[in-house]
Chains A and B, each alone.
Chain A
Amino acid sequence: MRRRIANVLRMEWAGMARTPSSLLFLVVIPALLIGQALLLSWVLPRYVNPSLIAVTVPQGSNLDATDAFRLLILGQFQFFVLLIPAMIANVFATQSIVEEKMNRTLEPLLATPVRTWELLVGKILAGAVPALAAAWASTGLFVLLASLLGWGALFPYVLNATWAISLFVLMPAVSLLSFVVGVIGSSRARDAKGAQGLAVLVVLPIFALIILQVTGLIWFTPLSTALLSLGLIALDALMVHFAVRLFARESIVIRWR
Chain B
Amino acid sequence: MIRAEGLTKAFGDRVAVEALTFEAQPGEILGLLGPNGAGKTTTLRMLAGIIAPTSGTASVAGIDPARHPERAHEHIGFLTESPGFYERLSAARNLAYFAGFYPNLDVPNAVQASLETMGLLDRAEDKVGTFSKGMKQKLALARTLLHEPEVLFLDEPTAGLDPEAARSLRELVLQLKGEGRTILLSTHNLSEAEAICDRIGVFQTRLVALDTTQALRDRQFTPQVRVEIQNLTDELMAAISAEPFVNTVSRDVRDSSTLIVSLQDIDRDRPKLVSRLVVLGAEVLQVREDERSLEDVYLSLVREDMP
- Using a CB–CB distance below 8 Å, which chain A residues touch chain B? 3-4, 7, 10-11, 14-15, 18, 103-115, 249-250, 253-254, 257
Contact = CB atoms under 8 A, between A and B. Distances in A.
Interface in B86-144: 86-89, 93, 97-98, 100-103, 140, 143
Size band of the interface chain B makes with A = 20 to 34
Contacts of A111: 48-50, 73, 76, 78, 80
B51 A250 contact: yes
A113 B70 contact: yes
B143 A108 contact: yes
B85 interface: yes
Contact of A113 (B93, B102, B143): B102
B51 A105 contact: no
A113 B51 contact: no
A113 B71 contact: yes
The A interface is mostly helix, strand or loop, or mixed, namely helix
Contacts, number: 77
Nearest to A103: B84
Given A18-B89, A105-B86, A115-B70, 6 more contacts: A4-B101, A105-B85, A107-B50, A107-B78, A108-B80, A109-B98
A112 B102 contact: yes
Interface in B8-56: 11, 41, 45, 48-52
Interface of B: 11, 41, 45, 48-52, 70-71, 73-74, 76, 78, 80-89, 93, 97-98, 100-103, 140, 143
A108 B84 contact: yes
Contacts of B140: 108
Contacts of A106: 84
B102 A15 contact: no
B73 A14 contact: no
A106 to B, nearest CB: 7
Nearest to B45: A253
Contacts of B83: 104, 108
B101 A249 contact: no
Contacts of A107: 50, 78, 80, 82, 84
Contacts of B70: 113-115
Nearest to A104: B84
Given A15-B86, A112-B101, A113-B102, A104 B80 contact: yes
A114 B158 CA distance: 27
B50 A110 contact: yes
Contacts of A108: 78, 80, 83-84, 98, 140, 143
B179 to A, nearest CB: 20
Contacts of B11: 254
Given A113-B102, A114-B101, A115-B70, A105 B50 contact: no
A254 to B, nearest CB: 8
25 contacts: A10-B100, A14-B89, A15-B89, A18-B89, A103-B87, A104-B80, A104-B82, A104-B84, A105-B86, A107-B82, A108-B140, A109-B98, A111-B49, A111-B73, A111-B76, A112-B73, A113-B71, A113-B73, A113-B103, A114-B70, A115-B70, A249-B50, A249-B51, A254-B11, A254-B51
Between A10, A11, A111, A249, the greatest number of chain B beta carbons within 10 A of the residue's beta carbon is seen for A111
Nearest to B75: A113
A18 B88 contact: yes
Nearest to B82: A104
Given A4-B100, A112-B102, A113-B73, A105 B84 contact: yes
Nearest to B100: A7
Contacts of A105: 84-86
Contacts of B52: 250
A14 B21 CA distance: 44
